[in-house]
Amino acid sequence: MLPEHIVRSISFVRAMCSLSSWFTGQVGDGRENALLEHVRQTSAKGDPQSVLQAADAYSQRTWFMNVGNEKGALVDAAVRDRNPKVALELGTYCGYSAVRISSQFQQPESLLISIEKSPPNAEIAKQIIDHAGLSSKCEVLQGTLTKRVQDVKDILKKFDQQFIDFVFLDHAKEFYLSDYLLLKNEHLIGPGTVIVADNMGFPGSPKFWKYLKNAEELETVSHKCTLEYISWVRDTVAVSTYKSGF
Ligand SMILES: C[S@@+](CC[C@H](N)C(=O)[O-])C[C@H]1O[C@@H](n2cnc3c(N)ncnc32)[C@H](O)[C@@H]1O
């Protein structure tokens, strides 16, 4: 039997070459449904840590585009520091980062809105989040930010909040900048909002990087790390804070 890291690397390369994921958000070999089954069978219901451990364990042989443990710890720390009441994630996939983010909430009423374009991924994520016991802290909306922006506004209104406190960008890299600008132009983000952008190193989001480097309203710290579950690919997570006075 081949060593685990070789099997995982082959699985990663296959996922990178998958045409299906461009259209469906899934790799095309059923791995996302298999992850759901694995999580259900091997983790304790109502226990987010157990769910994350099960997902990470399954990702040792089959590669997944979950944020993973190393970058996940950076996301956890940013959530804890900001202590959000309303958080937004773009790109739910199977719900791994949604479980991480919502399990870090310190306020009982906090909510994560997670937007996922792919209908099957949104369904899988809802089931994994439910298994983790976090359905009341995490609302998965199927679609894109453009299509669901009114729902985001309605939720903020219910919370009597002007701005989203925390945003995690982890969807199609070519939409990082336009979706950031949509949030900004709609005044859904503002002073105090923390924006975490995954995959700024690989596969990268050059337009958003360029914007971050010149944006007067943002103060950005970048964290060098490796790609989820693949130690030979370098990645960067950017953590930006929206400054006051803009
Ligand atoms: C890298 S995965 C997200 C991983 C997830 N955040 C995690 O760490 O568990 C990217 C996801 O974004 C979804 N996606 C792609 N374009 C999108 C868009 N414009 N809006 C929302 N989701 C999108 C894909 O279907 C895919 O499920």
For residue 196, the 8-state DSSP code is E
> What span, in angstroms and rounded, lies between the C-alpha atoms of 159 and 98?
19
In tens digits, what is the pLDDT along the chain, a chain of 246 residues?
889 999 999 999 999 999 888 889 999 999 999 999 999 999 999 999 999 999 999 999 999 999 999 999 999 999 999 999 999 999 999 999 999 999 999 999 999 999 999 999 999 999 999 999 999 999 999 999 999 999 999 999 999 999 999 999 999 999 999 999 999 999 999 999 999 999 999 999 999 999 999 999 999 999 999 999 999 999 999 999 999 888
Concerning whether 228 is annotated as a catalytic residue, the answer is yes
CATH homologous superfamily for the domain 68-242 = Vaccinia Virus protein VP39 (3.40.50.150)
Cβ atoms of 91 and 101 closer than 8 Å: no
Would you list the domain boundaries of the chain? 68-242
Question: Has 199 been annotated as catalytic?
Answer: yes
Q: Tokens representing 235?
A: 């990645």
- Say what the pLDDT of residue 8 is: 95
Q: What is the distance, to the nearest Å, from the Cα of residue 243 to the centroid of all Cα atoms in its chain?
A: 23
What gap in Å lies between CA 78 and CA 71, rounded to an integer?
11
Q: What's the confidence (pLDDT) of residue 218?
A: 98
**Ligand 1 atom with least separation from CA of 179:** 19
Count how many residues are written for the chain. Answer: 246
Q: Which of 116, 170, 179, 235 is catalytic?
A: 170
CB–CB of 124/66 below 8 Å? Answer: no
Q: For a ligand 1 pocket test, name from 117, 127, 142, 169 the mutation site with the most ligand atoms within 8 angstroms of its C-beta.
A: 117
Cβ atoms within 10 Å, residue 245: 6
188 lines ligand 1 (CB under 6 A): no
Is residue 117 in contact with ligand 1, taking CB distance under 6 Å? Answer: yes
- The single residue of 116, 173, 179, 235 carrying the catalytic annotation is 173
CA end-to-end span of the chain, whole Å? 57
Site to probe by mutation for ligand 1, drawn from 51, 93, 200 as the one with most ligand atoms within 8 Å of Cβ, is 93
pLDDT value for 40: 98
| 23 Cβ neighbours under 8 A, 6+ residues apart | none
CA 36 to ligand 1 centroid distance, Å = 16
